């Protein structure tokens, strides 16, 4: 077990100012306690923000090459903890070993070099007429992060914030906090100046609210559910701070009538079931042409039937067909209730179901589930389920497909499948969503990530992610 008793504030491991409250971290596969961490208070947040505010005075003017070296040192030190990171997240999230190594740990290492290189080549000053346009760090950043890709989504905020010259107070999810402690240990190991990075774990209603309302926090960067994001924005409103929200999705995978069923099926299943469906950008709705409905249904059902539930600690190399448990008991119950809702509302259950899988009597597992006969107004076609549940809908023509794809409150991601890339691009341009993959195109970690509508208002990754943490100043010069 990994037990932590302190927070990381002002370059030191310090005891909670209001001790006595802790939370157990539960292994998603065994349902046993794998660690314990303290829960913070408003007083702990105040101490962390005070430290970050003091540190900002010097970190904000630290030369770019020095900041870049720290970023590279952090990345190298995290690489040395690769196995520890992977095994920790396997238990916390339930990610199978191969997925935890390739994605959860693997993606968390490379961005440090990316941001070091970006700031070394970034145009921090430019001229416009008689004005000098200057990019400056926004200040103290409160980073509030979720549990599904816990370390990577921390780094999507902490990496560019530090690169920009901001200081950070991190509140990770209390469901998956152990990986954040590994990061804090690394920050301490590389000698990051005191107060530049601070860690306080706690409930969103306490620590998250305190960060959002704090007058000395200049920006809150939040990833999580829509209702929680809306509350962050409300809490931050009185201090008129910048709020970056990366929220949920109900993304559509539009299959055009010239697509190949076998290729569509593999991408459709993996695009929805990735990380056991615990992915905000998961393609959870597949839209297929009514004229070829049975062909695509048969192919998707055949592909989904190959997916197996696995022990997250087992060596299962096939990430395309291996799903681990969900992150918690409460979330398991939520996803199962959505599956039952789909049945109750008349969708056709093609694969899976709401019951505990026979092969696993313990663990927060949910059967990979596919519904056919789904109509746009059904709950499972409108609400984010955040589990391995795929809804298949039919459309009559391209205009109908676009209408259905855009017919939710979300706009985070999407996909288009077609033998004609130009035709697919035309559909992609009409989708009201922040990113669209054509024919399963590769993930690009430097492309902007974020959504339209109630999927959020920010962009992360690459230079776009850096600029979220910058202010723009114009200095008018005399002739």
Tens digit of each residue's pLDDT (9 = 90 or more) over 149-192: 999 999 999 999 999 999 999 999 999 999 999 999 999 999 99
Q: Which of 167, 183, 165 is nearest to 88 (CA)?
A: 183
Q: Residue 262: which pLDDT band, with cuts at 50, 70 and 90?
A: very high
Instruction: Supply the CATH number for residue 332's domain.
Output: 3.40.309.10
Per-residue pLDDT band at 331 (split at 50, 70, 90): very high
Number of domains in the chain: 2
Measured distance CA(140)–CA(198) in Å, rounded: 11
Strands 167-171 and 140-144: parallel
Decide which of 110 and 350 is more confident: 350
Read off the tokens for 35: 């660690």
Same domain, 107 and 152: yes
Please, which residues have CB within 8 angstroms of residue 111's CB and are 6 or more apart in sequence? 75, 155, 156, 159, 445, 461
Alpha-carbon span 429 to 454, nearest angstrom: 19
Residue 314 has pLDDT above 90, yes or no: no
CATH number at residue 469: 3.40.605.10
Shared-domain flag, residues 39 and 69: yes
Q: Is residue 110 situated within a structural domain?
A: yes
How much is the pTM?
0.97
Mean pLDDT of 331-349: 98
82 and 207 both lie in a single domain? yes
Rg from Cα positions in the chain:
23
Same domain, 349 and 303: yes
Mean pLDDT throughout 100-109? 94
Residue 479: per-residue pLDDT? 85
The answer to whether residues 315 and 424 belong to one domain is yes
Q: Both 385 and 461 in a single domain?
A: no
- In this model, does residue 317 exceed pLDDT 90? no
Give the model's confidence band at 315: pLDDT under 50 very low, under 70 low, under 90 confident, else very high.
Answer: confident
pLDDT at 279 over 90: yes
Q: What is the pLDDT of residue 83?
A: 97
pLDDT value at 343 more than 90: yes
- 471 and 430 together in one domain: no
316 vs 80, more confident: 80
Residue 438 scores a pLDDT above 90: yes
Q: Which domain holds residue 12?
A: 2-247+456-476
The verdict on 262 and 169 lying in the same domain is no
Phi-psi region of 147 (alpha: psi -120 to 50; beta: other; left: phi over 0): alpha
Assess if residue 125 is contained within a domain. yes
In the block, residue with structure tokens 């107004």: 377
Residue 158's pLDDT is 98
Distance separating alpha carbons of residues 40 and 14, to the nearest angstrom: 11
pLDDT attached to residue 104 = 96
| Token pair 């998707």 in the structure block, residue | 300
Catalytic residue among 92, 185, 280, 468: 280
Across the chain, what does the average pLDDT equal? 97
| 200 in any annotated domain | yes
Q: Which of 92, 101, 185, 246 is catalytic?
A: 246
Rounded-to-integer distance, Cα 420 and Cα 32, Å: 50
Q: Are residues 224 and 365 in the same domain?
A: no
Rounded to whole angstroms, how far apart are CA atoms 305 and 297?
Answer: 12
| Range of lowest pLDDT (106-110, 136-140, 145-149, 192-196) | 106-110
Average pLDDT over residues 429-456: 96
What's the pLDDT score for residue 1? 83
One domain, residues 270 and 230: no
pLDDT-based confidence at residue 66 (cuts at 50, 70, 90): very high
pLDDT tens column, 11-25: 999 999 999 999 999
Give per-residue pLDDT as tens, 355-380. Answer: 999 999 999 999 999 999 999 999 99
Residue 280 is among the residues annotated as catalytic for this protein: yes
Mean of pLDDT values over 75-90: 97
Q: Are 260 and 222 contained in the same domain?
A: no
């Amino acid at each position: 077990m990994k037990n932590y008793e302190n927070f990381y504030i002002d370059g030191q491991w310090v005891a909670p100012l209001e001790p006595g409250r802790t939370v157990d971290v539960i292994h998603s596969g065994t349902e046993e306690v794998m660690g314990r961490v303290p829960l913070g208070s408003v007083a702990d947040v105040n101490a962390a923000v005070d430290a970050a505010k003091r540190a900002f005075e010097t970190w904000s003017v630290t030369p770019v090459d020095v900041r870049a070296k720290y970023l590279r040192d952090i990345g190298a030190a995290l690489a040395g903890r690769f196995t520890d990171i992977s095994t920790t997240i396997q238990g916390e999230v339930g990610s199978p070993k191969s997925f935890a190594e390739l994605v959860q740990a693997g993606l968390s290492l490379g961005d440090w070099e990316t941001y070091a290189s970006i700031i070394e080549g970034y145009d921090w000053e430019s001229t416009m007429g008689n004005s000098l346009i200057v990019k400056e760090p926004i200040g103290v950043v409160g980073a509030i992060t979720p549990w599904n890709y816990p370390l990577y989504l921390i780094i999507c905020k902490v990496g560019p914030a530090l690169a920009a010259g901001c200081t950070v107070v991190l509140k990770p999810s209390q469901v998956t906090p152990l990986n954040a402690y590994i990061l804090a240990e690394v920050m301490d190991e590389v000698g990051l100046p005191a107060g530049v990075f601070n860690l306080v774990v706690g409930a969103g209603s306490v620590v998250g609210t305190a960060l959002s309302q704090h007058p000395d926090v200049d920006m809150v960067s939040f990833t999580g559910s829509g209702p929680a994001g809306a509350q962050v924005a409300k809490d931050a409103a009185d201090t008129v701070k910048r709020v970056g929200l990366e929220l949920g999705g109900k993304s559509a995978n539009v299959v055009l009538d010239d697509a190949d069923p076998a290729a569509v099926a593999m991408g459709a299943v993996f695009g929805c079931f990735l990380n056991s469906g615990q992915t905000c950008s998961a393609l959870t709705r597949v839209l297929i042409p009514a004229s070829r409905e049975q062909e695509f249904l048969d192919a998707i059902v055949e592909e989904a039937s190959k997916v197996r539930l696995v022990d997250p600690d087992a060596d299962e190399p096939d990430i395309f067909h291996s799903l681990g448990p969900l992150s918690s008991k409460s979330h398991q119950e939520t996803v199962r209730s959505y599956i039952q809702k789909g049945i109750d509302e008349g969708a056709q259950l093609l694969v899976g179901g709401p019951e505990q899988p026979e092969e696993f009597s313990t663990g927060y597992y949910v059967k990979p589930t596919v519904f056919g006969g789904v109509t746009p107004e059904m709950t499972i076609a409108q609400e984010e389920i955040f589990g391995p549940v795929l809804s298949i809908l039919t459309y009559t023509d391209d205009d109908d497909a676009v209408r259905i794809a855009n017919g939710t409150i979300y706009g985070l991601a999407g996909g288009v499948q077609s033998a004609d890339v130009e035709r697919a691009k035309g559909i992609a341009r009409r989708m009201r969503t922040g990113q669209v993959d054509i024919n399963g195109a590769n993930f690009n970690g430097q492309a902007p990530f974020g959504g339209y509508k109630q999927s959020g208002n920010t962009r992360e990754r690459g230079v776009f992610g850096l600029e979220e943490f910058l202010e723009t100043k114009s200095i008018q010069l005399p002739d």
